[in-house]
Copies of this chain bind each other. A is one copy, B any other.
Amino acid sequence: MATIDDVAKAAGVSRSTVSYALSGKRSISPQTRGRIDRAIKQLNYTPNAGARALRTAQTGVLGLLVQFHEDEFAPAMLQYILPITETSRALGYDILMMTETDGAEALTRAAESGMVDGLVLLDVTQNDPRLDALRSVRQPGVLVGLPGDTRGLDVVDLDFAAAARSLVDHLVDLGHREVVLVSPPRHVFERGGAYSWRFRDAALQRASERGITLTPRYGESQQPAIDENLHAILDDNPDATGLIMHNDASVAALPHLLHQRGVRVPDDLSVVSLYSRDFARWFSLPYTAIESSPGLLGTVAVKQLAQRITGEDAAGPHGTRLITAEIVDRGSTR
């Protein structure tokens, strides 16, 4: 590997001149610049990341803390990881991906050793143990998912309450009076997946405001329990004309199951849900749904984090950003 000294020697200038030529932080005469550029090309020089990090205390790397709960639907996670990685790269950052079970420990390790300039926390829960770790660390972080205590944190999440209200309104406006909501599995509520009750509570409140019956039920996360549970829910609510699906694993299983039961959508049952376009494509889901916009959430989160790292004024005070998502009509309601 060529070093900056090799380049300086080859170009017949000093080390500092090469460095400034690279950073553009002071003007270089055209001839000097030319010689440096040629030397760099010829030696195939790339600055050493470790040395640069040691000197500048900046690594150009963001830590991405991913958590895989067994009761969660793994394919959905990739929708967040990819846009975050791509946005990061566009802003000049690489991604160090950490999937350890002990996320707090991983976060601390990456931060304290100075491997990262900032941290992205995915799938944050109500009392997420990673938050204390994040607060006690020098690097800024951004959360995707709303915890109970957001003091001093930047948070980005979907506005699940607004999403629930607009799905209820959508059904009520079409005349539905009896609606079932399939929530995430009970475990998700219990471990503090706030999106689960934010969605459910808002849906229940709106239903009561609009004077309709909304029956909330838990979904399941694994076959064959998913199918059994859905059958039971449909059996228990023969008069329901509307179904709100707020559970990836269950909604993925729904088309086949409804077909089995001979239930036609939307003739016999109106179905709405909440997922992304990609998710709909992978699982061939034909339901009108709030676009969960994982790409948008990831992009917003990373941009906020990058501003926080560079200390731009635009970063503003710490706060929570709830994204209002659009409904995508796929004709599954009537």
Contacts and interface: CB of A to CB of B under 8 A. Distances in A.
A265 interface: no
A49 interface: yes
A67 to B, nearest CB: 12
A109 B77 contact: no
Q: Which of A44, A51, A227 is the most central at the interface, judged by chain B CB atoms within 10 Å of its CB?
A: A51
Contacts of A47: 113
A41 interface: no
A312 to B, nearest CB: 23
Which of A49, A81, A227 is the most central at the interface, judged by chain B CB atoms within 10 Å of its CB? A49
Interface string A93-132: 0111111100000001110111100000000000000000
B109 A100 contact: no
Interface in A43-101: 44, 46-54, 59, 61, 64, 68, 73-75, 77-78, 81-82, 85-86, 89, 94-100
Interface string A212-231: 00000000001100110000
A138 interface: yes
A106 to B, nearest CB: 8
Contacts of A260: 259
A95 B94 contact: no
B68 A59 contact: no
A99 B86 contact: yes
Interface in A114-162: 114-115, 138
Contacts of A322: none
A20 interface: no
A278 interface: yes
Interface stretch (A171-179, A281-289, A324-332): A281-289
B94 A110 contact: yes
Given A50-B59, A85-B97, 17 more contacts: A1-B138, A46-B108, A46-B113, A49-B115, A50-B52, A50-B115, A61-B96, A74-B82, A77-B78, A85-B98, A94-B110, A95-B96, A95-B97, A97-B97, A227-B284, A252-B282, A253-B284
20 contacts: A46-B109, A46-B112, A48-B113, A50-B50, A50-B54, A50-B115, A51-B54, A61-B115, A68-B82, A82-B99, A85-B98, A89-B100, A96-B96, A97-B97, A222-B281, A223-B281, A223-B284, A252-B282, A256-B259, A256-B284
Interface of A: 1, 44, 46-54, 59, 61, 64, 68, 73-75, 77-78, 81-82, 85-86, 89, 94-100, 108-110, 112-115, 138, 222-223, 226-227, 252-253, 255-256, 259-260, 278, 281-284
